[in-house]
Amino acid sequence: MIAVINYDMGNLLSVTKALTKVGAEVRVTRDAQVISDASHVVLPGVGAFSSCMDNLTRYELIEPIKKSVASGKPFLGICLGLQLLFEESEEKPLGGTNPKGLGILKGQVKKFSTEMTVDNEELKVPHMGWNSIKIQKDSGLLKDVPDGSYFYFVHSYFCAPEDDSIALTKTDYGVEFVSSIKKDNIFACQFHPEKSQQIGLKVLKDFSELK
């Protein structure tokens, strides 16, 4: 059973429908015991970094998330669910300081420059739409995904891991950024597999079949 964590900030319907479509049993939950009992855990995320951390704290989900990661069970973070795994983000609230993340992975979440250009053409922020990935290392999670495959992105911030060896894929958008990571039982992606048609479903199916 896959537990999809509900903290009022995730794209729950699309994620749940996509996982169900690939044959997974899914429960959307914020119950710590259900999360503990699950064979796999998914942390989706849409919205502001600080608001997401506030909601995880409000619903007492930080410890269940950390225990899930420490247990060794397959764990998937999607979009902001990737960014929250890091130590802090440049996406600070108005007048505030850089908000702290879960600190499960070392590194920061950085903002795209609004002055990026390619061939003298200004790039828009947020980075929105289809873009390709460059696979950095072997992984069962991408066993059915060819290098150069296109996935769907929507984000203004990107992760900068302290340890580049955890980068599973990289993507170019003004700068080369880490678009997914793999470390031990953690897989997390900046792109949205649930919105990436058949290639995204392959990623979710591979994740659901991890032991």
Catalytic, 52? Answer no
In the three-class reduction of DSSP (H, G, I as helix; E, B as strand; rest coil), residue 205 is classed as helix
Residue 40: closest CA among 75, 69, 86, 10: 75
Per-residue CA distances from 44 to 25, 173, 191 (Å): 17, 23, 11
Buried b / exposed e over 183-193, threshold 16 CB at 10 Å, is bebbbbbbbbb
Q: What is the pLDDT of residue 11?
A: 83
- 96-129 pLDDT, tens per residue? 899 999 999 999 999 999 888 877 888 999 999 9
pLDDT for 93 equals 86
Strand 127-132 with 134-135, pairing: unpaired
Catalytic residue among 79, 91, 155, 159: 79
In 3-state terms, what secondary structure has residue 21?
A: helix
**Integer Cα distance of 45 and 145 in angstroms:** 23
Tell me the pLDDT of the chain averaged across its residues. 95
SS3 72: coil
- Among 69, 73, 100, 71, which Cα is nearest to 87's? 100
Q: What is the pLDDT at residue 211? A: 87
Write out pLDDT tens, residues 24-81: 999 999 999 999 999 999 999 999 999 999 999 999 999 999 999 999 999 999 999 9
As beta bridge partners, residue 170 has 134, 178
Identity of residue 184 = D
CATH number, domain containing residue 27: 3.40.50.880
Name the pairing type of β-strands 75-78 and 107-111: unpaired
What was the pLDDT predicted at 121? Answer: 83
The pLDDT of residue 119: 78
Percent of the chain exceeding pLDDT 90 equals 87
State mean pLDDT over 118-146: 91
What domain range is 59 assigned to?
Answer: 2-208
pLDDT value for 143: 87
What is the domain count for the chain? 1
For residue 95, pLDDT beyond 80: no
Active site residue 90: no
Catalytic residue (one of 40, 127, 159, 194): 194
Any catalytic annotation for residue 189? Answer: no
Residue 65, φ and ψ in degrees, nearest 5: -65, -45
**What are φ and ψ of residue 123, in 5° steps?**
-90, 140
pLDDT, position 120:
81
Q: How confident is the model at residue 193 (pLDDT cuts 50, 70, 90)?
A: very high
Q: Single out the catalytic residue among 40, 127, 155, 192.
A: 192
